[in-house]
Copies of this chain bind each other. A is one copy, B any other.
Amino acid sequence: MIGMLAACLTTFGFLPQVIKVIKTKDTGAISLGMYSMTVLGIGLWLVHGIMIRDFPLIFANAISLLFSSIILIYKIKYR
C-alpha cells in the first residue's frame, strides 16, 4: 500500500510543474541538467520495467516520462 501511494505521488508529482510551465512559460529557475538526467533516468526505468515485465514500474514510469519530457521540452524552448 505504501509503495503504491509513493509511486502515485512521485509519478503525479510532476503534474503541478507541467501545468505551471505551460501556463507561465517561465522555466528560468528550472535546471536543464536535472531534467536531462531525470528524463534519461526515467526512460531507463521504463526499459528496466519492460525487461522484467513489471507492470506497475512500466505504468508509473511511462506517465513520469511523459510529464518530465514536457517540462524538458518547455525548458529547452523557453530558456
Within 8 A of B (CB), among A5-36: 5-17, 19-21, 24, 26-35
Copies of the chain in the assembly: 2
| Chain B residues, Cβ within 8 Å of A13 | 33-35, 37-38, 41
| Size class of the contact patch on chain A | 35 or more
Contact of A45 among B6, B24, B37, B38 (CB under 8 A): B6
A76 to chain B, nearest CB (A): 14
Give every chain B residue within 8 A of A30 (Cβ-Cβ). Answer: 17, 29-30
- By a CB distance below 8 angstroms, the chain B residues around A3 are 44-45, 48
Residues of A that sit less than 8 Å from B by CB: 2-3, 5-17, 19-21, 24, 26-35, 37-38, 40-45, 47-48, 51
